[in-house]
């Protein structure tokens, strides 16, 4: 892909992930926020795909869009039917919040502008080796050889969370534990 096309696609996905993120905290409706999240998550998945990390990108779709977002919407809809309007921040809180935001923004902007490769976007984004075919196969074999211990620990932790959730959610757990 030529550099201009690459940059165009990058800015498309960047806008897709940033604009909804802004809308989430500008907007006052919780359910709308949850729907805006769809755009942010999809934009991030697109960025991962662009970097050649297809497995990561599809995991983003599977876990965040297909799982977490659906459950989030489910929870929001089940508990609160009226649009839950978030109260406006009071002026007394706005001043320290504004100072903190501007300071953080300046700090990040300084770091980002000084970073190498900001001018040559496509080169800095093309991670060596990640775009070659067979990256997923490599990932799989690494997970089951070199990184087998962290992989297994993570799966045991997840299993423990699953068992715990089933215990908490089982029928009548509130009355006779």
Partner 1 sequence: MTGPAGSLPLSTGRGSREATAIVYQELLNPHHAQTYTGRAYWGLFPFAALFVPVLTAGLFVAWEAVVHLTGLTRTTGEFWSVARPLLLGLGWVHVILIFITIFSMYAVWMERKVSAHMQCRTGPMEVGRIQGSIFLWKRFNFRLWPKSWSPHGWLQTLADGLKLMAKEDLIPKDADRWIFILAPIVAFTGVFISFLVIPFHGVLSSFIPADLDTGVFFFAAVTSIEAIGVIMAGWASNNKWALFGAMRAATQVVSYELPIGLAFLTAVVAAGSLRVSDIVAAQGPDYGMLAWFVFRSPFLLLAFVIYFISSLAECKRAPFDLPEAESELISGFHTEYSSMRFSIFFLAEYAAMYVVAAFAAVLFLGGWWTGIAPVDHFLADAAKSDGLLPRLAAVGIGVFAVVGKSMILVFFQMAARWTYPRARLDQVMYLCLKVFLPFGLLTLVGGTAWELWLEGGWPKALLG
Sort 47 into a burial class: Cβ within 10 Å, 0-12 / 13-18 / 19+. buried
Under the binding rule (CB under 8 A), the answer on residue 80 touching partner 1 is: yes
- Among 14, 65, 125, 130, interactor with partner 1 by CB under 8 A: 65
Q: Which of 101, 42, 49, 104 is nearest to 69 (CA)?
A: 42
CB of 36 to partner 1, least distance (A): 10
Under the binding rule (CB under 8 A), the answer on residue 69 touching partner 1 is: yes
- Applying the rule CB under 8 A, the residues between 15 and 54 that interact with partner 1 are 29, 31-32, 35, 38, 54
Under the binding rule (CB under 8 A), the answer on residue 116 touching partner 1 is: no
Residues 6 or more apart whose Cβ sits within 8 Å of residue 150: none
Q: Which stretch binds partner 1 (CB under 8 A): 89-97, 110-118, 134-142, 149-157?
A: 134-142
- Among 7, 27, 58, 125, interactor with partner 1 by CB under 8 A: 58
Under the binding rule (CB under 8 A), the answer on residue 10 touching partner 1 is: no
CB of 138 to partner 1, least distance (A): 11
Under the binding rule (CB under 8 A), the answer on residue 77 touching partner 1 is: yes
Residues 6 or more apart whose Cβ sits within 8 Å of residue 32: 23, 83
Give the whole-angstrom CA distance, residue 98 versus residue 176: 49
**b (16+ CB within 10 A) / e for 93-125:** eeeeeeeeeeeeeeeeeeeeeeeeeeeeebeeb
Q: Which of 113, 117, 125, 135 is nearest to 8 (CA)?
A: 125
Under the binding rule (CB under 8 A), the answer on residue 7 touching partner 1 is: no
Q: Which residues bind partner 1 (CB under 8 A)?
A: 1-2, 5, 29, 31-32, 35, 38, 54-55, 58-59, 61-62, 65-67, 69-71, 73-74, 77-84, 133-137
């Amino acid at each position: 892909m030529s550099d201009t096309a690459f940059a165009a696609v990058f800015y498309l996905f960047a806008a897709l992930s940033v604009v909804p993120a802004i809308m989430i905290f500008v907007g006052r409706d919780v359910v709308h926020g949850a729907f805006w999240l769809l755009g942010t998550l999809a934009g991030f998945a697109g960025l991962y795909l662009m970097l050649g990390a297809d497995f990561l990108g599809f995991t983003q779709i599977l876990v965040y869009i297909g799982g977490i977002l659906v459950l989030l919407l489910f929870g929001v809809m089940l508990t609160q039917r009226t649009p839950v309007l978030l109260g406006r921040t009071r002026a007394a809180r706005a001043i320290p919040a504004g100072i903190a935001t501007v300071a953080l923004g300046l700090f990040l902007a300084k770091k980002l502008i000084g970073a190498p490769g900001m001018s040559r976007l496509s080169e800095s984004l093309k991670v060596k080796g990640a775009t070659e075919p067979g990256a997923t196969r490599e990932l799989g074999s690494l997970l089951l050889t070199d990184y087998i211990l962290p992989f297994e620990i993570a799966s045991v932790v997840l299993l423990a969370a699953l068992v715990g959730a089933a215990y908490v959610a089982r029928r009548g757990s509130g009355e006779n534990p």
